[in-house]
A and B are shown apart, each in its own frame.
Chain A
Amino acid sequence: MSNGGGESGKKECEQRTKGRFGGGEEFGRAIAKISVAQICENAGFQSFQSSALETLADIAIRYIRNLGQNANYYANLAGRAESNVVDVFQGLEDLGLSQGFLGLSDVNRCPIGSGLVREISQNVNLEEEVPFLFNVPRFPVVKETKLAPNFLQVGENSPNGHIPHWLPKFPDPHLYVSSPVWNPRPLGVPVDKTDLTKEQKKVEWPLMNLQHQFACNGSAPPLFVDPGDATTTKGAAQSNPFLSAPLRFGEKEVTPLFHPAKLESHARNHVLEEKVAPVIDKAKSALDSEDSRNKIVLNSRPSVQFKLGISKKLLTSAMGLSSQRKSVEKTACWFESDDKKDEKKRKKEQILKGPMDKPQELDHL
């Protein structure tokens, strides 16, 4: 049976190897590939097919593992936990060199007495020494497992004193205390957004704390603190001023806000703020919706001032004047013809002069 043809077969093979062996296996295989390549180079090869090299490296690894297994088996058979030289030679025999060696047929012999030792020693003496190219560190690197902190480490007193201090400490209350559940409001009811964010925060805090706990393995203080919990609030405030609970209304004196509607009396110079301030508020509250952004863009277009070339008008121009001028010009362009140009010009001048005489007409802006 084949392993599945072509590339799909190769992928299966790779997945199987990854599943069978653990992490750190890739490093070992890479080192084995390099050493096998060195051996082959010593034998006389000048280059390798990558698949052939990988195969040979895999065979070398299997050989090492099988030899270890056999040696361990013979050691256990003899009632020992650690293998010795005799076990290794017995294992080598089992793996069997294809050529065989002297004394294999003799049943009552010691494994060392065979020609195997002579073969290997000859091999060592005759072959020139080809040391491995790189310095290989001890692997796999064992990470120190970080245990949960015990009472003594954290500095807490064990409750009631009946629990020894070297046992791990209890988990923080926010992990097992029930937190407020998100309460969706019915549709159609006008929603006060500040209330919504407060509720969201209440629900999120314990979850964020839990995440943080997992990340720091329980040793760090909680990041987010429920303002209702007075004791932890103080602790959090001491550690990080930016994370302290927000001040309640009336706790601190703040300068009063200017309501944007009051600016209507100063229409000429503050038309810009009138238009832009509510727009900015809208932008803050509706960050995600792109429609509102588009609306903002559309609304802010009239606020752009264009120089239209009539210098006298510029001196006295307000926001509304420029926009009106533009709209007048646009309509003039649509209906313009050579014959009626003079008439249109006259009309324009009339309209432009008009607002200067009657300032109250601008209120509609």
Chain B
Amino acid sequence: MNQNQQVNEGSRGRQDDDAALSEFLASLMDYTPTIPDELVEHYIAKSGFQCPDVRLIRLVAVATQKFISEVASDALQHCKARQSAVIKDKRDKQQKDKRLVLTMEDLSKALHEKFHSPAMIGAQSPHAMVDFGENDAIGDRNERLDVKGW
């Protein structure tokens, strides 16, 4: 009995999920992601991903955009925190320039947070591990980006 109930619930859940997915895929065609389709197509073709469906390419683009926007927002928070800290210390002098600049410091902090969170440690798959340390072309001179997990 319990098993039947579980299966029923499972099937209903799946139907909902399918409905949500099909809705989502339909909405994808209306939304134009900031990362152009041609760029995404070029890079996923390099890794062997073959798919004639445009929606999947859009899906990859949207996922990447989401990821980058998360990193950017984290870096922005770091930048604002630093600015507010400076203003608190020196109130007599002029306010610091309000220009928000993406710096390597903020970026590396944001990326560290992203990839060293507790949730990540469990979800590591062998084919997704990349060690940025020595082989990386973007290695920061001051800080080493030690990214594992993807």
Residues on A facing B (Cβ under 8 Å): 1-3, 5-6, 9-10, 13-14, 16-17, 20, 28, 31-32, 35-36, 38-40, 42-49, 51-56, 58-73, 81-85, 88, 92-100, 104, 110, 112-113, 117-121, 123-125, 127, 129-132, 136-140
CB pair A131 B50 closer than 8 Å: no
Contact residue among A71, A100, A117 (Cβ-Cβ distance under 8 Å from B17): A117
Nearest chain B CB to A250 CB, angstrom units: 69
User: Top 8 A-B pairs ranked by shortest CB distance?
Assistant: A68-B44, A68-B49, A68-B47, A43-B72, A100-B119, A3-B139, A48-B102, A121-B24
CA distance A62 to B130 in the complex (A): 10
Partner of B56, one of A58, A88, A125, A129: A88
Partner of A45 from the list B34, B35, B101 (CB cut-off 8 Å) is: B101
In the complex, how many angstroms separate the beta carbon of B138 from the nearest chain A beta carbon? 5
Across-interface contacts of A94 in B (CB, < 8 A): 123, 125, 128, 150
Task: Tell me the bound Cα distance from A35 to B114 in angstroms.
Answer: 21
Q: Could you say which residues of chain B place their CB within 8 Å of the CB of A39?
A: 34-35, 65, 68-69, 72
Main secondary structure of the interface of A (DSSP, over half): helix
B17 touching A113, Cβ below 8 Å? yes
> Judging by beta carbons under 8 Å apart, are A47 and B99 in contact?
yes
Bound CA–CA A64/B41 (angstroms)? 9
Q: What per-residue 1/0 map shows which CB atoms of B113-150 lie under 8 Å from chain A?
A: 11101011001110110100110111111001000011
- The chain B residue sitting closest to A101, CB to CB, is B119
B133 & A1 in contact (Cβ 8 Å cutoff): yes
- A121 & B127 in contact (Cβ 8 Å cutoff): no
Of all chain B residues, the one with the shortest Cβ separation from A3 is: B139
Q: Output the nearest chain A residue to B105 by Cβ-Cβ distance.
A: A52
CA distance A62 to B150 in the complex (A): 9
| Closest A residue by C-beta to B46 | A65
- CB-CB nearest in chain A for B61: A64
Task: List, in ascending order, chain A residues with CB within 8 A of B76's CB.
Answer: 43-45
Residue of A nearest to B73 (CB): A43
Q: Which residues of B contact A9 (CB under 8 A)?
A: 139, 141
Smallest beta-carbon distance B80→chain A, Å: 9
Give Cα A39–Cα B66 distance, bound, in whole angstroms. Answer: 9
A-facing mask of B98-116, CB < 8 A → 1, else 0? Answer: 0111111011000101110
Extra 5 A-B pairs, beta carbons < 8 Å, given A5-B141, A14-B137: A47-B102, A49-B101, A49-B103, A51-B140, A66-B130
Closest CB of chain B to A131's CB: distance in Å?
4
In Å, the complex CA distance between A28 and B36 comes to: 11
* A67 / chain B contacts, CB cutoff of 8 Å: 44, 60, 63-64
Contact call B59/A85, Cβ cutoff below 8 A? yes
A110 to B17, CA, bound (A): 9
B interface with A by C-beta (< 8 Å) = 13-14, 17-18, 20-21, 23-25, 27-28, 31-32, 34-40, 42-53, 55-56, 59-60, 62-73, 75-76, 79, 99-104, 106-107, 111, 113-115, 117, 119-120, 123-125, 127-128, 130, 133-134, 136-141, 144, 149-150
A124 touches B120 (CB 8 A): no
Cross-chain contact A98 with B113 (CB below 8 angstroms): yes
Given A73-B127, A95-B150, A120-B24, the answer on whether A64 and B32 have CB atoms closer than 8 Å is no
**Known: A2-B139, A56-B107. Contact between A69 and B34, CB under 8 A?**
no
Alpha-carbon separation in the docked complex, A147 to B149 (Å): 46
Set of chain A residues within 8 Å of B28, measured between Cβ atoms: 124
Contact A35 B69 (CB under 8 A): no
Residues of B within 8 A of A138 (CB): 38
CA separation between A162 and B136, bound complex, in Å? 57
Which residues from chain B contact A36 at a C-beta distance below 8 Å?
68
B47 partner, pick from A65, A121, A131, beta carbons under 8 A: A65
Closest to B107 in A: A52
Tell me whether B34 and A35 are in contact (CB under 8 A).
Answer: yes
Q: Hey, which chain B residues are within 8 Å of A40, CB to CB? A: 68, 72, 102
Q: Which residue of A lies closest to B114 (CB)?
A: A98
Most chain B Cβ neighbours within 10 Å, of A54, A117, A118: A117
Q: When the two chains form their complex, are residues A60 and B35 in contact, meaning their CB atoms are under 8 A apart? A: yes
CB-based contact A49/B104 at 8 Å: yes
Do the beta carbons of A129 and B24 come within 8 Å of each other?
no
Docked-complex contact B107 and A96, CB < 8 angstroms: no
CB distance from A152 to the nearest CB of B (A): 36
A121 to B26, CA, bound (A): 11
Compute how far the CA of A14 lies from the CA of B130 in the bound complex, rounded to whole angstroms. 19
Residue of A nearest to B39 (CB): A31
- A56 adjacent to B56 (CB under 8 Å): no
Give bound CA distance, A42 to B70, whole Å: 11
Known interface pairs A28-B39, A61-B43, A64-B64. Does A70 touch B138 (Cβ–Cβ under 8 Å)? no
A132 touches B36 (CB 8 A): yes
